[in-house]
Amino acid sequence: MLIEVKVTRIDDKIVGLETNNHLRSIPPTLPLYTRSRVKVSIYHLPPAAVESFYNKLRMQLEEKSM
């Protein structure tokens, strides 16, 4: 069974992470209107790799928000 991880970015900055696994989802905070580039990527990963991948993305999200 593959786990789905959805990553939302605005201008290449991660603003949201969502997963259908036990990991905590961080919903994106999107403005009602923007001229910035919004991109949603969906990754399907095996359970053994998903936690490491998710943690790396979460660290990037926290670094950018500082």
Going from N- to C-terminal start, the domains of the chain cover: 3-65
Q: Taking a C-beta distance cutoff of 8 angstroms, is the pair 53, 46 a contact?
A: no
Question: For 62, left (φ over 0), alpha (ψ -120 to 50), or beta?
Answer: alpha
What does the pLDDT profile of the chain (66 residues) look like in tens digits?
Answer: 899 999 999 998 999 999 998 889 999 988 899 999 999 999 999 999 999 999 999 999 888 665
pTM, two decimal places: 0.85
Residue 66: per-residue pLDDT: 57
> In 3D, which of 40, 42, 53, 50 has the Cα closest to residue 14?
40
CA distance 66 to 49: 27
